[in-house]
Amino acid sequence: MALKELSCPTFELCLSLFSTIITIIIVLKLRSVRVKSKENIVTLPPSPRKLPIIGNLHQIGALPYRSFKGLSEKYGDVMLLQLGHIPTVVVSSAQVVNEIMKGNDLALSNRGQSRATNILLYGSNDIGFGNYGERWKQKRKICVRELLSPKMVESESIRLVREGAVAELVDKVREAAAAAGSVNLSELLVEAANNIICNSALGLKNDEKGVRRKHSVKALAKKVMFQVGVVTLGDHFPWLAWLDVLTGHLQQFKATFQALDPLFDDLIAERTSSIINRETPAAHQTDFVDILIQIQHQQLPNNNAISNNDIKSILLDMFAAGSETTSVTVEWAMSELMKNPIELKKVQEEVRRVVGQKSNVEESKVKQMEYLKCVVKETLRLHPPAPLLVPRVATHHVKLGGYDIPAKTRLYVNVWAIQRDPQVWDNPEEFIPERHRHSHDTQDFTLIPFGFGRRGCPGMNFGLAAVEYMLANLLYYFNWESPQAQAIDMTEIFGLVASKRIPLHLKPIPFSFQ
Ligand code: HEM
């Protein structure tokens, strides 16, 4: 049938109506596409060129915070890197941290998990690596309010733990000095810090079995600390995860977990039964395990009650986060003081003047040691134990420094670079404790060795009390020399924390007022 034959006024009307509707639909569609694409313009942070598969991994050295600082000088304070399959933003200025705190702290409150944390830290359900959420908030609250609160830090039970561990440290320094002339101070500091955490967590009073168990827990927790810092091939390249079996990493993580977990189970069962039998410990003998079990028993047995796995993961966090951070801070402080004899003399004079001629250093006196506190602050400025904090992950899209940060991007805050920023600090590479003398604790995020916001360190008071007390004792009881007047090596090694590459060996000379 010819088209002409179909031609009638109704048909023509229908045809023109149809074509008008189609035209309107097309115009609307095109407009919406244009609006959408305008909305979708994404401005990602500047990035260095990346290679296929590995991205920017080849540009990151053994000390990533130093590599990041070098790159940020070229690419800016908010820079995007591709680390294997993980898109990663590195922030290198206090202003951008301020911006995070003002509006994005919640959106950046997740953590990145790894194969190690999944195996060793109860499915990464601990405080340090767990994702933000109601369960996590509950555990963190327990940690902040019950275990690490200022009241707990100053309590008799924790003070006795600190005094005991530091007295042991002083004795060991004395013995080593008498036997060999010099001491491996790094090793003794690790042991003292580990004892403080272990005895705070598991208590001072132990029977023979308890002492043996404590010994094993300490050794295994040390392994956890090391292994949690291991990044496997599977973490960077999920399609190569099977190789983690060949490298032996997974087996090692599992072996550590399987050795430690039953020790904690045994301990919890023992303490639970003594709490049920109302053998409540005296106030000065309270430890973290007792507190956690008591909280568990006060809670209703519903979904919100903390489980044994929660207790175990919290205990492990205390070991992993609280031990080495403390010992490396004292290690770096002593190294800087040895390199800066004028500052050493000044702080030593203060400690000895405040303590006076006494047989022991009373902890309450540390409050009056203003210059010692400046020494600790300056040490944490130059040598933050966690130079990149602990990485966070964006739960959804955020804007930082005017750039778009897509959901799931990993975020590193380069505290090491921020705390050496020449725009903020005069002579940033120099150890000048005096610069903190009249500084007030401002909220400008230029000095953040304990991190910030919802994921900031809950152990700051606990850690500082231990660092200051250890340092005060070492400076009170001994004068210090470098063996054979050697220069102090200041190179670093980076694992879970940034510590000294070569352990600090020093010659202590016992001091007496006479
Ligand atoms: C000088 C000593 C210490 C330093 C410099 C330090 C530093 C830090 C830093 C930088 C973070 C990450 C913060 C962030 O991501 O914003 C952190 C997290 C943490 N710290 Fe500390 N810390 C110290 C001592 C301690 C102690 C003694 C404990 C416990 C006994 C502790 C427990 C924790 C925990 C549980 C976290 C994880 C917090 C979370 O993810 O919410 N820290 N610490």
Verify whether ligand 1 is closer than 6 Å to residue 140 (CB atom): yes
Do residues 157 and 285 make contact, with C-beta atoms less than 8 angstroms apart?
A: yes
Verify whether ligand 1 is closer than 6 Å to residue 459 (CB atom): yes
User: Average pLDDT in the 428-455 region?
Assistant: 91
Verify whether ligand 1 is closer than 6 Å to residue 508 (CB atom): no
- Among protein residues, the one whose CA lies closest to atom 26 of ligand 1: 322
| pLDDT of 414 strictly over 60 | yes
pLDDT in tens, 21-67: 555 554 445 444 444 445 568 999 999 999 999 999 999 999 999 99
Do residues 378 and 436 make contact, with C-beta atoms less than 8 angstroms apart?
A: yes
Cα(458) to centroid of ligand 1, in Å?
6
User: Average pLDDT in the 210-216 region?
Assistant: 91
Verify whether ligand 1 is closer than 6 Å to residue 322 (CB atom): yes
Within its chain, how far is the Cα of 78 from the centroid?
21
Choose among 214, 219, 186, 216: nearest CA to 200.
214
Is pLDDT larger for residue 92 or for residue 17?
A: 92
pLDDT at 290: 92
User: Average pLDDT in the 94-122 region?
Assistant: 95
pTM to 2 decimal places = 0.90
pLDDT at 19: 57
| Complex-level ipTM | 0.99
| pLDDT of 12 strictly over 80 | no
Cα(449) to centroid of ligand 1, in Å?
9
User: Average pLDDT in the 339-347 region?
Assistant: 97
pLDDT at 483: 85
194 — phi, psi (to 5°)?
A: -65, -40
State the Cα–Cα distance between residues 181 and 171, nearest whole angstrom. 14
Percent of the chain with pLDDT over 70: 89
Q: Which atom of ligand 1 is nearest to the CA of 455?
A: 41
Verify whether ligand 1 is closer than 6 Å to residue 310 (CB atom): no
CB atoms within 10 A of CB 442: 8
Range with lowest mean pLDDT among 228-237, 408-417, 436-445: 436-445
| pLDDT of 205 strictly over 90 | no
pLDDT at 16: 57
Residues sharing a CB contact under 8 Å with residue 221, sequence separation 6 or more, in sequence order: 194, 198, 260, 316, 319, 320, 323
Q: Which atom of ligand 1 is nearest to the CA of 453?
A: 16
Please name every residue paired with 91 in a beta bridge, in sequence order, or none if there are none.
78, 413
Cα(158) to centroid of ligand 1, in Å?
18
Verify whether ligand 1 is closer than 6 Å to residue 450 (CB atom): yes
Do residues 225 and 323 make contact, with C-beta atoms less than 8 angstroms apart?
A: yes
Verify whether ligand 1 is closer than 6 Å to residue 433 (CB atom): no
Q: Which atom of ligand 1 is nearest to the CA of 329?
A: 1
Please name every residue paired with 87 in a beta bridge, in sequence order, or none if there are none.
82
What's the chain's average pLDDT? Answer: 90
Q: Which of 138, 146, 325 to mutate to test the pocket of ligand 1 (most atoms within 8 A of CB)?
A: 325
pLDDT at 303: 64
pLDDT in tens, 349-406: 999 999 999 989 999 999 999 999 999 999 999 999 999 999 999 999 999 999 999 9
Lookup: tokens for 120: 């060793």
Q: Which of 148, 447, 450, 457 to mutate to test the pocket of ligand 1 (most atoms within 8 A of CB)?
A: 457
- Quick one: CA torsion of 18, 19, 24, 28, rounded to 10 degrees? 100
Range with lowest mean pLDDT among 201-205, 305-309, 338-342, 461-465: 201-205
Within its chain, how far is the Cα of 510 from the centroid?
35
Cα(273) to centroid of ligand 1, in Å?
32
Q: Which of 450, 468, 497 to mutate to test the pocket of ligand 1 (most atoms within 8 A of CB)?
A: 450
Verify whether ligand 1 is closer than 6 Å to residue 498 (CB atom): no
| pLDDT of 183 strictly over 90 | yes
Place 442 in a pLDDT band, splitting at 50, 70 and 90. Answer: low
pLDDT at 204: 81
User: Average pLDDT in the 485-511 region?
Assistant: 91
pLDDT at 250: 95
